[in-house]
Amino acid sequence: ADPDCAGNAACCAATETSCNDGVDNDCDGLVDCADPNCAGNAACCAPTETSCTDGIDNDCDGLVDCDDPSCSSNAACRTICLPFEVCIFDVDADCDGLRGCADPDCSFWPFC
């Protein structure tokens, strides 16, 4: 970072120019991955969705929040909990935190 530009609006870029330099390039108060301009940038990708309610594709797989399978067991993404597990699908239909064949409710199914 250029110390001559610290706090100088003339040095600000129109958008974040680098997402891993520790500098607020566009002077919006947000640095690197905290800046929405860096959403989807490989430097800011998490290995899995880190928040299911922030409107950001945290793991850069093209799926945002509740559309990402990583969020299927998140309470914010559940619309209906069934009184039973649907064993044929890898989802947590009964909202007990266990998906498909990993749920003991499915132990009687031959394919589990």
Give tens-digit pLDDT for 68-87: 988 988 888 877 788 888 88
Three-state secondary structure of 33-85: HHCHHHCCCHHHCCCCCCCCCCCCCCCCCCCCHHHCHHHCCCHHHCCCCCCCC
15 is a domain residue: yes
18 is a domain residue: yes
- For residues 60 and 35, membership in a common domain is answered with no
Average pLDDT over residues 52-79: 87
- For residues 32 and 55, membership in a common domain is answered with no
Closest of 69, 92, 75, 76 to residue 104, by C-alpha: 92
Q: Give the number of domains in the chain.
A: 3
112 is a domain residue: no
Q: Which residue, chain included where needed, has tokens 């530009």?
A: 5
Give tens-digit pLDDT for 89-111: 888 888 888 988 899 999 998 88
Structural domain for 58, as ranges: 45-69
Considering Cα of 103, then 105, then 106, then 107, what sign does the dihedral take?
positive
Average pLDDT over residues 53-68: 89
pTM: 0.47
